[in-house]
């Protein structure tokens, strides 16, 4: 399968970031994560595998927030966003993924759209015309993500649907014959459509930063929390195109 986003739904770009860029980011994200873990002990022990909304967090300083906004809207990321979205795109949110507390916890095949409350028919229609795209930035070598290539535009086979929806005795963590694992290294960027059937691969004490972009349409704007977006004053220092104005 060629690494062509329109066809496969993902792009794996090796050595995309410099070590310095990652170290500057880690100076913010590691302390953030340590405070998050302390304040979310119960959630972590009950199964959480990610935190989110780092840009609106009280665990980071104002200058750190601006640094993250600059990172998100830097030219080499903005250029990829412009090439992938058919129309204007917006920054939606950030997430940090880590390993579960319980090392036996199963991962789960899903499409992000299945959590929006839409009917299956609406989901099937919308994956063909709406775009939510993750930019995954691993801060450690990790097992990565397992993806079903081309599923960002193609609806499930029987095996895929039964697995992700726990039907007919299948479980969301069961093997899919169509799954492709993408192990990732530090400095890589994995761009993948949230429409795709995918699952995280836990292990190696992973620590990975996701930036999410979406179409600039009312359906998605309702999921944007303005607190995660730059203020008017912050926008003066940023490439404004990717943010809510």
Ligand X SMILES: O=C(O)CCC(=O)C(=O)O
- Choice from 89, 189, 194, 214 touching ligand X (CB under 6 A): 194
Residues 6+ apart with CB under 8 A from 42: none
210 binds ligand X (CB under 6 A): yes
- Only one of the segments 12-20, 79-87, 122-130, 193-201 lies at the binding site for ligand X (rule: CB under 6 A); that segment is 193-201
- Only one of the segments 58-66, 73-81, 151-159, 192-200 lies at the binding site for ligand X (rule: CB under 6 A); that segment is 192-200
Q: At closest approach, how far in Å is the CB of 134 from ligand X?
A: 5
Hey, what are 214's tokens?
A: 């979406």
200 binds ligand X (CB under 6 A): yes
Using CB atoms, what's the residue nearest to ligand X? 200
Which C-beta is closer to ligand X: that of 106 or that of 168? 106
Residues 6+ apart with CB under 8 A from 8: 1, 2, 149, 150
Helix, strand, coil share of the chain (percent; to 5): 35, 20, 45
97 binds ligand X (CB under 6 A): yes
Where in the chain does DSSP place strands (E)?
A: 10-13, 50-52, 89-98, 132-138, 142-147, 180-184, 189-193, 198-200, 207-215
What is the x/- site pattern for ligand X, positions 44-73, by CB under 6 A?
A: -----x------------------------
Cβ pair 185, 5 in contact under 8 A: no
Tell me the three state secondary structure of residue 33.
helix
Task: By CB under 6 A, name the binding residues for ligand X.
Answer: 49, 97, 112, 134, 194, 198, 200, 210
């Amino acid at each position: 399968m060629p690494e062509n986003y329109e066809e496969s739904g993902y792009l794996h770009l090796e050595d995309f970031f410099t070590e310095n860029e990652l170290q500057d980011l880690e100076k913010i994200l590691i302390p953030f994560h340590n405070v998050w873990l302390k304040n979310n002990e119960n959630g972590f022990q009950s199964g959480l595998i990610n935190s989110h909304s780092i840009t609106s967090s009280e665990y980071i300083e104002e200058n750190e927030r601006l640094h993250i906004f600059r990172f998100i809207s830097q030219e080499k990321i903005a250029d990829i966003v412009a090439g992938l979205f058919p129309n204007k795109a917006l920054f939606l949110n950030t997430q940090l993924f880590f390993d579960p507390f319980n090392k036996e916890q199963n991962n789960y095949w899903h499409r992000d759209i299945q959590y929006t409350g839409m009917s299956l028919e609406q989901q099937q229609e919308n994956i063909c015309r709406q775009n939510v795209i993750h930019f995954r930035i691993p801060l450690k070598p990790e097992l990565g993500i397992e993806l079903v290539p081309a599923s960002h535009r193609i609806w499930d086979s029987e095996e895929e649907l039964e697995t992700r929806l726990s039907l007919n005795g299948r479980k969301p963590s069961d093997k899919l014959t169509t799954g492709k694992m993408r192990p990732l290294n530090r400095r890589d960027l994995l761009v993948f459509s949230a429409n795709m059937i995918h699952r995280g691969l836990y292990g190696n004490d992973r620590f990975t930063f996701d930036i999410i972009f979406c179409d600039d349409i009312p359906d998605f704007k309702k999921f944007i929390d303005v607190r995660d977006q730059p203020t008017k004053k912050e926008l003066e220092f940023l490439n404004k195109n990717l943010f809510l104005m």
